[in-house]
Amino acid sequence: MIFNTTPASPAIFIDKDGTLVRDVPYNIDPELLEFTPGAVPFLAAMKKAGFKLILVTNQPGIAMNLFKETAFLNYIGHMNQQLNSRLDGVYYCAHNRPGADGRFHCDCRKPLPGLILKAAFEQKISLEDSWMIGDILDDVEAGNRAGCQTILLNNGAKPNGLPALCERPTLP
């Protein structure tokens, strides 16, 4: 029997809208792409420190047929070309299974940890040595549920009420 003894890597899991790039609702236009202040040098520093860079994002615009999945992937390709340190992976939820409450329910839509867990499995990532960075409590909850350390980016948006225990970031 052969065992893979390659050590697991740490990763920075980062949300797209409002965290990595300025939040323009349902944007797939490369002309409107604008990285948030400090995002590009931060990712370069993390890459140099040995972290994998993984984008995790909910994309309801695909599910609601506001844009095609190919248009989203073209936008991501353009975004990745603009980064000094390319992303090691892009994981997104584009399912169209709304429940009775009108929300989409699947195992990968944040705040559930499915995107992070899938990336960790596929890319041999050590979750306990990794960080999830996002601008809303759903991002923090997904990271916490996956076993990551978490950062809630203060971009001026205020969460509603006090976060539940699973939504509390490691670093505010």
- pLDDT reading at 137 higher than 70: yes
Mean pLDDT of 133-156: 92
User: pLDDT tens across 25-64, in order?
Assistant: 999 999 999 999 999 999 999 999 999 999 999 998 998 8
Give the confidence band of 2 by pLDDT, cuts at 50, 70, 90: low
- pLDDT reading at 106 higher than 90: no
pLDDT score of 84: 78
Are 146 and 133 a contacting pair, CB within 8 Å? no
Taking residue 31's Cβ as centre, other Cβ atoms within 10 Å add up to 7
Burial class (CB in 10 A: 0-12, 13-18, 19+), 103: exposed
- pLDDT reading at 7 higher than 70: yes
pLDDT score of 4: 59
Q: Domains in the chain, start-ordered, CATH in brackets? A: 11-167 (3.40.50.1000)
- 129 as an active site residue: the answer is no
Mean pLDDT of 148-164: 72
Largest CA distance in the chain: 53
Give the confidence band of 98 by pLDDT, cuts at 50, 70, 90: low
pLDDT score of 139: 95
- 135 as an active site residue: the answer is no
Give the confidence band of 3 by pLDDT, cuts at 50, 70, 90: low
pLDDT score of 54: 98
pLDDT score of 155: 74
